[in-house]
Homo-oligomer: A and B are copies of this chain.
Amino acid sequence: MEDKLNINNINTLYDFAQKIYPICRSITGNGVRLTLKIIQEILPELKIHEVKTGTKCFDWEIPKEWNITNAYVKDPSGKKIIDFKENNLHIVGYSIPVNEKIPLSELQKYLHSLKEMPHAIPYLTSYYNQTWGFCLKHCERKKLLDGDYEVVIDSSLKDGSLTYGELIIPGKSQKEIFLSTYICHPSMGNNETSGPCVTTYLAKWLSSRDNYYTYRIIFVPETIGAVAYLSKNLKTMQKNTYAGFQITCVGDDNSYTLVTSRKANTVADKSAKHILDNYVDDYKLYDFSYRGSDERQYSCPRVDLPICSIMRTKYGDYKEYHTSLDDINFISANGLNGAYNIYKNVLIALEENKIYIATNFCEPQLGKRNLRDNLGSQKSFDLKYKIISDVLAYADGKNDLIDIANLSKVSIINILETVKTLLSHKLLKEYKPSLYSKIKRLVFR
């Protein structure tokens, strides 16, 4: 990585991850609210919104609010063999209240485990079909003996609301960059404690600087939250969104992944590819048919926002995915910081990606401006001079700065200093059509 944009303390992100990891989140309920409160400690301007049960959102309807305080199963000897308090993945999300004694054969219908991963508790939900269930390790399940089991689920499913967080950071332009992450998963690491962590600290960094673009940053429950948010904000977002990113699975320390937008041709894709190409040894490039998170909503045909998603290891691409093995140890400070820095560079690239035009006919004489060594014809390679020369050679009023960096085979981050220098020497100007015709007229008169 050529450029280090590290946050103050190497553990800042991971410490924050540890703080929100234990909370039992779902698409509604107090777990979401508590998570957003903790995020508000870092982002005081974050607004928390509630959308009432029953509200229509396009084809969907906000479901009842679900909360849970306790749940367990006791075996015939009275021993707790499954305990929600030990791991909140033990309960199928949105399980209805239960308090009964049933034989093993009946209980089995409500148990879920993974034969092929006997030491993992799977993660399951049943938001839109009222039922209940417990998830457990397959190795434990195999030990269960016949007899009557006590089943207790101390949950509630009632009219209430869906909760989400929203932060708008105004910039010079009304054009928006959109960041979205989700806060509906219980205790898992990569998918999904990492997304809210990285997004929180990106928002903090963005709040601390003068931005050209306005930033719209949301923390929503996946799917229903994204749908609800769009149903309220679609017109504005369709009008203003310049680029956007779905931030998920950004915590582990393995290779990077890019899932492109539907047509893979937005400036979001362009910037993401450019930064990954320059800062990452290798990454997996997936087209939109591999999508799986809220870009499903943001980029669907009639919404059509320019969204892509940079991840570390993608949901579904690792065996620990959606199980208790994707825990807080599956992610790391390095993993979170790496993703944070990549997104930071991607946003800097977007902020700085203007179109310039060289003011001179032919190359200017760099030597007289001390921009080039005066001893000519040397055999050694001079990267600084090459960048100056390439910026001037490609600044034709059509290439943007990412194009120029791509053509010069360097990162845009590495040419920003050169652009400033050339602007100060008036060898480069920001391109505006009217300016160009003026230059042309002056020269040829």
Binding site for B on A (CB under 8 A): 58-60, 92-93, 114, 122-129, 223, 226-227, 230-231, 234-235, 262, 287-289, 291, 296-297, 299-304, 316, 321-323, 357-358, 360-365, 367-368, 374-379, 389-390, 392-397, 407-409, 444
Identify 14 new A-B residue pairs, CB closer than 8 A, beyond the known A300-B362, A301-B397.
A59-B362, A59-B365, A125-B375, A126-B374, A126-B375, A129-B375, A226-B362, A230-B362, A262-B396, A288-B393, A289-B409, A301-B357, A316-B379, A322-B377
Q: Are A291 and B393 closer than 8 Å at their CB atoms?
A: yes
Report the Cα distance A108→B153, complex, angstroms: 88
Consensus secondary structure, chain A interface: loop
Which residues of B have CB within 8 Å of A323? 379
Q: Are A301 and B389 closer than 8 Å at their CB atoms?
A: no
Which residues of B have CB within 8 Å of A300? 358, 360-363, 392-393
Report the Cα distance A300→B395, complex, angstroms: 9
Report the Cα distance A60→B366, complex, angstroms: 10
Q: Are A231 and B289 closer than 8 Å at their CB atoms?
A: no
A429 CB to closest chain B CB, in angstroms? 12
Report the nearest B residue to A386, measured CB to CB: B289
Q: Are A129 and B367 closer than 8 Å at their CB atoms?
A: yes
Q: A377-B124, A408-B289 are in contact. Are A59 and B297 (CB under 8 A)?
A: no
Partner of A301, one of B126, B299, B393: B393
Q: Which 4 interchain pairs have the tightest Cβ spacing?
A: A301-B396, A129-B374, A125-B376, A59-B364
A215 CB to closest chain B CB, in angstroms? 22
Report the nearest B residue to A321, measured CB to CB: B379
Report the Cα distance A368→B130, complex, angstroms: 12
